[in-house]
Structure 1
Amino acid sequence: MHQVITHLRDIEAELNDEEPGTDHLQSVLMHVHGPKLDTVGLVEYDIGEQYIEYFPNEQIETALEHIDRMEDDW
């Protein structure tokens, strides 16, 4: 999970020109986003083990590629 938190912190820092707190990101991932992503089957998530694994999904990957292209046009 540490790698996910570090990656999210880097993205937030790049987008907002400030680095968010690691504790905040971990809390939001563990208590909000992790359970939701697990419920819809995009990740396997275990709060006790602090474990998260993404399962590639072609529809999600395609949507993210479109979003990336749209952001480049802004």
Structure 2
Amino acid sequence: MGQDTTARRDAPDRLPSSVLRLLAPERRRAVMRALMEEPNATHRIEDIVNAIEETYGDIGEESSNCTYLRSSLHHTHLPKLDDAEVVEYDPDDGTVQYRGDPHIEQWVDQIDRIDED
């Protein structure tokens, strides 16, 4: 999952506390999982919404509402991931490209393992 490093850029140095804050919301981790499945692709926001709904089902009280999910991705989660230089999000055309960050991927995987216990 996300192991192709050919298109990766140098990941910024990240403190564990900043990574944990970034990945704390389950919805944001679901976005990362969807992006990590096809790390070199340019994703449309609609494709991310569909991947989250299909794969993870009900994430939070209102995630079954695709409009609410799309809005939360557009206004909150994707801008935060973009600010952290994890993704390149273009809100005008609704596309997202994962920048590739092995440290973020390790944290997502670790949080998944903890959640499974």
TM-score under structure 1 normalisation? 0.80
Matches for 1:1-74 after TM superposition, within 5 Å: 1-10=45-54, 11-13=56-58, 20-73=64-117
Aligned length: 71
Contact 1:8 1:25 in 2 (8 A): no
> How many Å apart are 1:52 and its aligned residue?
0.9
Report sequence identity in percent. Answer: 30
Structure 1 stretches of at least 4 aligned residues deviating more than 2 Å after TM superposition: none
Contact 1:9 1:25 in 2 (8 A): no
Deviations 1:29-71 (A, max 9, x none): 1111111111110111011101111122111111111112112
Find the aligned partners of 1:61 and 1:54 in 2 and give their Cα distance: 11
Q: Which has the higher helix share?
A: 1
Q: Compare relative contact order (CA 8 Å, sep 6+) and give the higher one, 1 or 2.
A: 2
CA RMSD, aligned part only? 1.9
Unaligned runs of 5+ in 1: none
TM-score under structure 2 normalisation? 0.54
Unaligned runs of 5+ in 2: 1-44
> How many Å apart are 1:19 and its aligned residue?
5.8
